[in-house]
Amino acid sequence: MRPKVRAYKRPDKISDYPSTPAFESGHLVSKNAGWRTFKPVVDPEKCVGCLRCYLVCPDGVISRTEDNKVEIDYDFCKGCGICAHECKLDAITMKKEADEDE
């Protein structure tokens, strides 16, 4: 399961830092999707819930919904397009971010 984003508190003292560059895994302090240009959009009518996109997503941002379809966490999706490329039913299309606003 994706860890929750937690607020990052800047250390006041050097002793508040971990003493080596290592920290508990899954400690997310910020969203990370700022460089996405194209956004994958799932068509729920076409999606059969095969989860192929879930398997190939390099960032692990695709999860299964209650009705056995998929949803994408856009807070962390980088827009690589692998899911859209691999979907056998063309249920995922890449849409330019700016076009979304129109």
Partner 1 sequence: MSKNLKFVSGDEAVALGVRLARPHVISAYPITPQTIVVERLADFVEDGSLKAEFMHVESEHSAMAAAMGVSAVGARAFTATSSQGLLHMAECVHYASGARFPIVMMNANRSIAVPWSIYGDQRDSLGLLDSGWIQVYVEDAQEALDMIIQAYKIAEHPEVSTPFMVNLDGFVLTHTYEPIELPDQKVVDDFLPMYQTANKMSFEEPKSLCFSTSPADNQEFKYMQHKAMERSIHIIHEVEAEFEQAFGRSYHGLTESYRCEDAEAVLMTLGSVTGTVRTVVDELRSEGHKVGLCKIRYMRPFPKKEVSELGKMVSKVGVLEKNVSFGYEGTVFTNVNSVFSSLDTNVKSKNYVGGLGGRDITKDDIRAIFMDLLNNESFTERVEFIGMGCDTNE
Candidate ranges 21-29, 35-43, 44-52, 71-79; the one touching partner 1 (CB under 8 A): 21-29
Lookup: tokens for 90: 């063309």
**Total binding residues toward partner 1, as defined by CB under 8 A:** 13
SS3 94: strand
Site string for partner 1, 35-74 (x = CB under 8 A): ----------------------------------------
Closest Cα to residue 90, out of 51, 46, 50? 46
- Binding partner 1 (rule: CB under 8 A), the pick from 21, 58, 90, 102 is 21
In b/e form, how buried is each residue of 55-84, taking b as 16+ CB within 10 angstroms?
Answer: eebeeebbeeeeeebbebeeebbbbbeebb
Residues that bind partner 1 (CB under 8 A): 10-11, 14, 17, 19-27
